[in-house]
Amino acid sequence: MHKRRGTVTRRWRVAAVASTVAVAIAVPVAVAQASPEPPEVGAKGAYLLDTGSDEELMAKDADTRRQMASTTKIMAALVVLESKNVDLDKQITVKQDYRDYVTKTEASTADLQTGDKLTVNQLLYGMMLPSGCDAAMALADTFGTGDTVADRTKSFVSKMNAKAEDLGLTNTHYDSFDGVSASSDNYSTPRDIAELTQRAMENSTFRTVVKSVSTKQEAPAANGRTRYYSWDNTNRLLGSYKGAIGVKTGTTTPAGPCLVFAAERDGRTVVGVVLNDATDRYPDAQKMLDFAYDTDTQVKWRKLPEDAQRD
């Protein structure tokens, strides 16, 4: 556990001099003040990392493997962005398979319309803001290899696992491109996710996408006209907490509510993770960030529009 340095205060001590005269002598006395204790959080697993110093600020069951829901999409985005010669302006045609997938799984959606053409960059917004599993599938289908959609998306998941291995995330494994898992084989730990996010935040495109409270995108529609997509970020920390710059929500029944978050103040960036946080992921994130910055932030939580996705 990270301990903050104590501060030194000065107190005055009266010393008796060997005579009948008492002289007041100023003697500096070092008094180590207790370091603030990390906050109590409801999450089953939590971790807080100073990305500049690589310093662990807080940990709670940080190395226990847990399901992570749509925070999986952080890795999906990183695999896309670190693909060789990635072209963010490449247009991808939306397939009916993507719509059928979110309908079948009842997953969160960017409501992509069959036949529309969206760029890789636009699909990253669609995946990370409304947590669109259809957008995630479109990216996996494009950046995977194979003869069928199933083959290509499976290949993409293999790339996610290979990336995790390359990054030394030994307690992380993916069995899906979006966190919609039929088994318990899609897991990570708070520490691994924080380290992954630290890497992802080094990418300027990733940072730009995940700090966006909302976005409006236009794309060529299947009917030859223009389609307008409006997406709100499911991460309510954005637009609510001073300095918040991301990152990703996630919720499934096995994983519970999850949140990966980041903030920057005075040039200092911290990344936090809470996994399986029954009802308090945002207040817990606030407490953790306030602990990191040694402050008490007043927050009025941003409300999502009624028609926005929840994750």
Q: Choose, from 60, 70, 240, 248, the residue flagged as catalytic.
A: 70
- Taking CA atoms, 55 is separated from 49, 248, 272, 288, in Å, by 6, 22, 12, 14
Element (H, E) at 119: strand 117-119
Q: Choose, from 73, 159, 248, 287, the residue flagged as catalytic.
A: 73
- Bridge partners, residue 248, by sequence: 260
Q: Choose, from 131, 181, 212, 240, the residue flagged as catalytic.
A: 131
Burial bucket for residue 79 (CB in 10 Å: 0-12, 13-18, 19+): buried
Residue 204: active-site member: no
Residue 73: active-site member: yes
Six-digit token string for 142: 């494009």
Alpha helices in the chain, H assignment, sequence order: 73-81, 96-105, 120-128, 133-143, 149-166, 190-200, 204-210, 281-293
- HSE (side-chain half, CA atoms, 13 Å) at 134: 27
Six-digit token string for 158: 């293999």
Alpha helices in 57-203, H assignment, sequence order: 73-81, 96-105, 120-128, 133-143, 149-166, 190-200
First CA to last CA distance, the chain: 31
Residue 183: active-site member: no
Q: Which residues are catalytic?
A: 70, 73, 131
